[in-house]
Amino acid sequence: MPATPETPPDALAEAPGRVIAIRGAVVDIAFDAGPLPAVNDALEIRAPDRDPDMAPVLVEVQAHLDATRLRAIALQATSGLRRGTPVRALGGPLTAPVGPAVLGRLLDVTGATGDRGAPLPADTPRRPIHAAPPPFAAQGAAAQIFHTGIKVIDLLAPLAQGGKAAMFGGAGVGKTVLVMELIQAMVARYEGISVFSGIGERSREGHEMLQDMTEAGVLGHTVLVYGQMNEPPGARWRVPMTALAISEHFRDAEGRNVLLLMDNVFRFVQAGSEVSGLLGRMASRVGYQPTLATEVAALQERIASANGAAITAIEAVYVPADDFTDPAVTAIAGHVDSMVVLSRAMAADGMYPAVDPIASSSILLDPRVMGAEHVAIATEVRRTIEHYRELQDVISLLGKEELGREDRHIVDRARRLQRFLTQPFSVTEAFTGMAGRSVALEDTIAGCRAILAGEADDWDEASLYMVGTFEEARAKEEAARREAAA
């Protein structure tokens, strides 16, 4: 928050303060003269006995304890600090470097580079990481569909430019792989800026992302912003705000479309919960912070189309213990346009991507947006697979032979649809040995229509597994028949 009209920023910046208590990432600071800096303002602490080459420790104000004392959360390690260390108010929130200079760079929450490259130019503009969402009147509706080339997503949970899509799933079901494939699929056809926010990421994942983007030749249109697992909770809590500030600059100041990728948004909530506990706040449902809904809304509502340009968000969301009723999951789900739900049961059956066709949804799946044929095919695919799931208990107890003729046809077609909606990914090619496939929406609809019409009823189910188009499956089936006849 900026200084009040009565208190010029210079007065705040010159206000002397000192550390009076340090408890891990929580720092209490006293200001003997002048007004206290506002909540969310950044303060700088430079310990005299720290290495002079080390950057000062940045903290963010979280609460006013009384007229002269405040409580702040550290955005960096507090080792080397002690009581009495002088504190300088920066006169406003933490700022992040923005503009063309940050393209191709890896940054941390404070905007410092972490890729061993040259320092950013001294004249690089900076933008506060805290900002209000664009006014409702200035926001534009998402009108353009984001074609990913991933069959099950394009058919059942289409994404929109300027919208928010989330990949929900438990541990080990393929969220990060799916986000990485979306990056690969979109980077070639997407004309805009990509900002990747790694929230609580492992350092290995950050290095792999940097290397992959360098090899793909797309790093020059990408900004990587990381708050790693080993950093204090304040850094992991605020790193998506830094990524948002960079995205908003490209959208508002340069009128460019931005693709914002976040992995993993649950760790943002988790870091907020840690901060809340450190500040001594009473926990709410399931131990989460009482401000959970407000924090998620403050992040999500800034992702919008405005002034003729759009920020499109694709977010990975960890679902703790596969519990989709978890308060963090439901809070995030309420803000997204497209929900891609990953199923552990489908992953166990080898159906990759393990997207649940029933639980996944999108507000764009409307005849006025996607067309009547697309919605009709998607609805029939869902109805067929749902009917198969209803019959699975009967099949496991009595066998498929006990079903009526129509039910047997539905079961056969549902199993073929499930296999047709799998496909090999480019990012897993090194592990599977199968080249990745990108499938046009028209081919996906045509393939599902053919299966629903019974064209593949006498095919081996394996012919439809891990292929691109229906014609590729047909060629695979014919080759298998020739081999069997030989």
Count of CB atoms situated within 10 Å of the CB of 346? 21
Count of CB atoms situated within 10 Å of the CB of 57? 24
Measured distance CA(126)–CA(402) in Å, rounded: 69
Measured distance CA(78)–CA(63) in Å, rounded: 19
For residue 426, give both structure tokens.
Answer: 């480019």
- By three-state DSSP, how is residue 342 classified? strand
Residue 164 falls in the annotated catalytic set:
no
Measured distance CA(87)–CA(97) in Å, rounded: 23
Q: Rounded to whole angstroms, what are the CA distances from 136 to 132, 145, 159, 305?
A: 11, 21, 21, 10
Question: Which residue, 8, 30, 35, is CA-closest to 19?
Answer: 30
Active-site annotation holder among 127, 164, 175, 302 = 175
**What is the pairing mode between strands 86-93 and 16-23?**
antiparallel
Nearest 5 degrees, angle CA 373-CA 378-CA 382?
A: 150
- By three-state DSSP, how is residue 127 classified? strand
Residue 175 falls in the annotated catalytic set:
yes
Measured distance CA(370)–CA(442) in Å, rounded: 12
List strand residue ranges (DSSP E) for 298-401, in order: 305-306, 309-318, 338-341, 361-362
**What is the pairing mode between strands 26-30 and 16-23?**
antiparallel
Measured distance CA(340)–CA(153) in Å, rounded: 7
Active-site annotation holder among 189, 202, 285, 481 = 202
Question: Which residue, 53, 61, 99, is CA-closest to 246?
Answer: 99
Residue 151 falls in the annotated catalytic set:
no
Q: Give the dihedral of Cα atoms 314, 318, 319, 322; nearest 10 deg.
A: 110
For 86-117, give one letter per residue: b (16+ CB within 10 A) or e.
Answer: ebbbbbbbbbbbbbeebbbbbbbbbbeebeee
Active-site annotation holder among 201, 248, 295, 477 = 201
DSSP one-letter string for 156-167: HS-EETT-EEEE
For residue 361, give both structure tokens.
Answer: 């949804």
Catalytic site positions: 175, 201-202
